[in-house]
Chains A and B, each alone.
Chain A
């Protein structure tokens, strides 16, 4: 595996131990390692630049504290900054006063929307709700069949109409009212953010159902493009939260940081497997350690 940041910084931290303050050169050296780690984690170049500028300020300020070594102070400052960016307001679902509460799923092809739709259904059930799923992906072969299978697995009804995705979405909400289901989750086809026609389609779907929440599903393995994708979807749909998928692999998931930084919406859920119960609320602190490639930020600091 990659040389992780804790290994890289360990040497610097040891060397700086007992040093009263950091020189400009020390800070440069540290920042170079941090930048490399963030880029290796797929954090967007522009985001890396702004994050590093902020960390640099902390790094210089850090030397004034007596409690820890300067090197350790810097590591802590990096971690704190990432947690700060990733965290902030968390998303707590406010149910519509007049049910159903409508959720719209959007994202690139293959990002994990349909799976996350099934997972959300299970999650809402665990919250005592009665969801209905709507299959508005009439594009991908067997997409509705996939959703129906997932619906059966979690014992939740699925609505779809092969005619038209916008109509399907609209009718899906009507169907939920008729059946007395209090949450509707609309799955949509994967689309590229630069595909004007498809982006217009999802805008119309959104208009037809007036979602209470629109979730953008992002693959944790995404590289630099995460920013462009998130900005475009946010501009078209007003994203309320992000679902980060495929976190069960070894991708560092820098996309989480990039997306949070550019659209300023919380990362609501982490999808961690193909099974429908592999789904949890997002933890900013765990994600920060992961992006930095150090599960042991605190251990490193405690070595003081």
Chain B
């Protein structure tokens, strides 16, 4: 781990003082972990310091990081593909989330990875609402040379996705990646529409084996509400954390995973086709504290 930012000032003190706790809390807050979660992490450590179990600032830091990593330890981070499904019964991965987080781009990246892994794919443009959303996904389909299905602008998203799955089934394609329009989790009608998409996607030959909620690393405390509402509507199976190549730390997904039990599976680190990596708890936790500057 790098010892810049919060680490520097904490380690710079000879002992654990009130300021040490303030600095630790602040580091967690700056990473968007949230006040409740931050205090929940620090309280048990305060007990351990009181009991003289921990006396050195460096040990305190190590204990905090170890604790955070431990809380992320047991999650199943695999993006599930059911191999037991017969040809003609495609796996369906559904991508959901609020506006502009990176759903369509992530599909483009996943398409490349899955194609390289030897699977055949179809991309379904379930965003019939946003201007040029289908053209955008179409470009990604070309980039990884996958099948592509789109509907009419303003058309019914569930029927586009249904059509995509039927086409995939008839061509014995392994996997359908279904894009959906960005929507705020507070919009009841749009969340109902998404529930329908989820239902209809199972109606034909396909099986939804992943519903991935895309969360932008710049997201603050609202991320928790997003995860709650999308889970309720679509039974989210994993989180994709995007834009982690920026200055934001994405700490809200720590809260999402530990409070709601939704594992973070993939991380977006750029706009190019190869900028998608598996989520690594160690790296993520270390990076949370690597602030460099005092913003």
A residues near B, CB below 8 A? Answer: 1, 36, 39-42, 44-46, 108-112, 114, 139-143, 145-150, 153, 192-194, 219, 221-229, 231, 246, 248-252, 254-255, 274
Contacts and interface: CB of A to CB of B under 8 A. Distances in A.
B98 interface: yes
Contacts of A146: 130-133, 135-136
Interface of B: 26, 29-32, 34-35, 98-102, 108, 129-133, 135-136, 138-140, 184-187, 216-223, 225, 243, 245-249, 251-252, 271, 293-295
Contacts of A255: 220
A228 B295 contact: yes
Contact of B246 (A142, A221, A225, A251): A225
B31 A224 contact: yes
A246 B245 contact: no
Contact of B139 (A141, A147, A153): A141
Nearest to B101: A110
Contacts of B129: 274
A193 B247 CA distance: 8
B98 A221 contact: yes
Nearest to A39: B35
Contacts, number: 147
B229 to A, nearest CB: 9
Contacts of B31: 224
Given A221-B222, A249-B185, A192 B131 contact: no
A84 to B, nearest CB: 23
Contact of A274 (B99, B108, B218, B249): B99
B186 A192 contact: no
A46 B220 contact: no
Contacts of B131: 114, 145-147, 149-150, 153
Given A224-B32, A224-B220, A109 B271 contact: yes
A249 B222 contact: yes
A149 B31 CA distance: 37
A225 B248 contact: yes
B292 to A, nearest CB: 10
Contacts of B217: 225
B35 A40 contact: yes
Given A1-B225, A109-B243, A146-B132, 8 more contacts: A39-B34, A44-B295, A45-B29, A139-B271, A141-B108, A145-B135, A193-B247, A222-B219
